[in-house]
Amino acid sequence: MRALIQRVTEAEVKVDGRSTGRIGQGLLVLVCAMQGDPDDAPAKLAARVAKLRIFRDAAEKMNLSVSDIQGAVLVVSQFTLAADTRTGNRPGFSSAAPPDRGNALYLAFAEELRKLGLPVETGEFGADMKVSLVNDGPVTIWMDTTDRA
């Protein structure tokens, strides 16, 4: 699974003008299930995201996790993170998981974060979503479950 993680002071996702998820301080996680992702990928990614120390401590160093600050997570599915831009001008997305599998892994990722005690809001898989955020820092981190053994 791939994730683009943004430290935010607030974030919201809307579908057809209706808010499906809104958080204050925490993380906006754009997530994409990839072809061949194993069943344990959501749990592994959730554990890494929950422990990622990108919030400032009293000394202004990035030493705290979203769990440490009692923040929330807004999870939004984004298959375009699978974009292959190596050739041509139009990205290819064939490395993304098929929709049924992608949705299952996306929902499992959100549930795994909840199991870790984090408040989680979500977008709507496959919908045309409008995402707004205030990126804090800005801090934006790329994470891929295949990058780690």
> CATH number of the domain that 136 lies in?
3.50.80.10
What is the CB neighbour count within 10 angstroms for residue 126? 12
- Three-state DSSP at 124 gives coil
Q: In the chain, which residues have pLDDT < 50? A: 149
Rounded to an integer, what distance in angstroms lies between the CA atom of residue 11 and that of residue 33?
22
What is the reported pLDDT for 149? 46
Strand partners, 130: 14
Q: What is the mean pLDDT of the chain?
A: 96
Name the residue among 13, 9, 2, 4 with its Cα closest to residue 121. Answer: 13
Segments forming the whole domain that contains residue 86: 2-147
The active-site residue out of 35, 70, 80, 146 is: 80
Q: 80 catalytic, yes or no?
A: yes
What is the reported pLDDT for 146? 81
The active-site residue out of 6, 55, 78, 145 is: 78
Domain count, the chain: 1
- Chain center to CA of 95: 18
The active-site residue out of 79, 109, 122, 145 is: 79
Question: Residues 70-95: pLDDT tens digits?
Answer: 999 999 999 999 999 999 999 999 99
Name the residue among 48, 47, 49, 53 with its Cα closest to residue 65. Answer: 53
